Amino acid sequence: MVPAIPVGILLAALVAAAAALAGFSPQRPLLGAAIVAALTALPLCALAWAFLVDRDSLKGAAARPEESVESRWYDASAAGAFHDLLIVAGLGTAVLFLTPLQIDGSIALLAMTVAGMLSMGVRYTVSRRRG
C-alpha cells in the first residue's frame, strides 16, 4: 500500500480539481472539490494498488486466481444474476407496455442496477455458504 496511497490521493486531487473546473459546485467550488476528493480517494487508492502491486510479491496469493473456487462462485453468481435481470427486464417491459404506468428511464436503470447487485450478492453468499 505504500506506493498506492500517495498515487491514489494524487489522482483524487486531480479528479477534484477537474470537478471544480467543470462547475460541479458553482456556489462553493472548494467544498465541492473537497467532497469529490474525499469520495474518490479510497477507490482510487485501491485502483492504484491493483495497477502497482505485483501479485507474486503478496504472501499467500493464489498463483492462478481465475481457477479458484471463489472465481467459480463469482462466475455462477454473475450468470444467475444476468438471467434474473433478463426476467425482471422482460416482466417490467410487459407491465409498462400493458398498463398506463410511466417510469423515468433513469429510475428504471437504477432499479435494474440495484436488482442486479442484490441478485449477485445473494447468489454469491449462498454459493459461499454451500461451499
* Nearby residues of 127 by Cβ (< 8 Å), 6 or more positions away: 73, 76, 77
Which cell numbers hold the place of 37?
476528493
Distances (CA, A) of 103 to 15, 106, 110, 126, 131: 33, 9, 11, 32, 40
Q: What pLDDT, on a 0 to 100 scale, did the predictor assign at position 52?
A: 80
Rounded distance between C-alpha atoms, residue 98 and residue 87, angstroms: 16
Q: What pLDDT, on a 0 to 100 scale, did the predictor assign at position 14?
A: 94
Q: What pLDDT, on a 0 to 100 scale, did the predictor assign at position 57?
A: 66
Residue type for position 60: G
Q: Is 36 exposed, middle or buried (0-12, 13-18, 19+ CB in 10 A)?
A: buried
Interhelix angle 29-52/4-21, nearest 10 degrees: 140
Q: What is the mean pLDDT of each run of 10 residues along the chain (131 residues)?
A: 86 93 86 92 91 70 73 92 95 93 91 94 93 78
Buried b (16+ CB within 10 A) or exposed e, 74-84: beebeebbeeb
Rounded distance between C-alpha atoms, residue 115 and residue 88, angstroms: 9
